[in-house]
């Protein structure tokens, strides 16, 4: 089990890699609500889909994911919260059909004056309250990670296996 001290240390570890918060697949409606909640608090610096089409203006529309037939990578900046710079990766899993969402940030992007593990966990739980994902994983970036494996290399904690005191 990961302790709260270890989780905080690993989230803030400026080792050159980013941190990912990966949510289990959820509904398009939930992902749209989540995107809308974030773009009201951040500036969209870019939003490109897998075809290289700029979707930045579309994010302000009623359905920001309309017509995207793959993934979209959104870069957000100038947020006023604990993590002022975020990247979103949204992909449709057509087999389910559900949407997959991963949020990426670098430890240096965290506003240390606003950071505490309790506040960080509350933020991720707030995001999940909008997304209604069954689970989420806070982890080091790792391209070899087996999706949704809570024991996988680099997983700091998951909602079902939170840090212990």
Please write the tens of the pLDDT for every residue from 28-85.
999 999 999 999 999 999 999 999 999 999 998 888 888 887 899 999 999 888 999 9
- Residue 138 bridge partners (DSSP): 21, 157
pLDDT at 97 (0 to 100): 86
Could you read off the pLDDT of 73-120 as tens digits, one per residue?
999 999 888 999 999 999 988 888 899 999 999 999 999 888 999 999
Of the two residues 13 and 96, the one the predictor is more confident about is: 13
Write out the two tokens for 45: 């610096």
Q: At what angle do helices 4-12 and 117-131 cross, to 10 degrees?
A: 80
- What are the backbone angles phi and psi of residue 57, rounded to the nearest 5°? -70, -35
Helix ranges, 13-116 (H): 28-39
**Number of helices followed by number of strands (H, E) in the chain:** 3, 7
CB 127 within 8 A of CB 138: no
**Cβ neighbours for 67, distance < 8 A, ≥ 6 positions apart:** 58
pTM above 0.75, yes or no: yes
**Cβ neighbours for 121, distance < 8 A, ≥ 6 positions apart:** 162
């Amino acid at each position: 089990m990961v302790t709260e001290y270890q989780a905080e240390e690993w989230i803030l570890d400026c080792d050159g890699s980013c941190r990912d918060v990966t949510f289990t697949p959820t509904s398009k409606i939930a992902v749209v609500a989540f995107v809308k909640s974030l773009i009201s608090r951040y500036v969209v610096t870019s939003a490109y889909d897998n075809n290289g089409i700029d979707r930045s203006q579309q994010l302000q529309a009623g359905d920001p994911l309309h017509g995207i037939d793959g993934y979209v990578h959104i870069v957000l900046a100038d947020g006023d919260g604990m993590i002022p710079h975020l990247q979103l990766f949204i992909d449709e899993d057509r087999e389910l059909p559900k949407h997959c969402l991963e949020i990426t940030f670098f430890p240096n992007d965290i506003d240390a004056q606003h950071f505490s593990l309790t506040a960080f966990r509350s933020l991720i739980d707030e995001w999940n309250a909008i997304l209604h994902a069954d689970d989420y994983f806070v982890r080091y970036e790792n391209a070899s990670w087996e999706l949704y494996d809570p024991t996988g290399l680099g997983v700091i904690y998951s909602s079902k296996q939170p840090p212990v005191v």
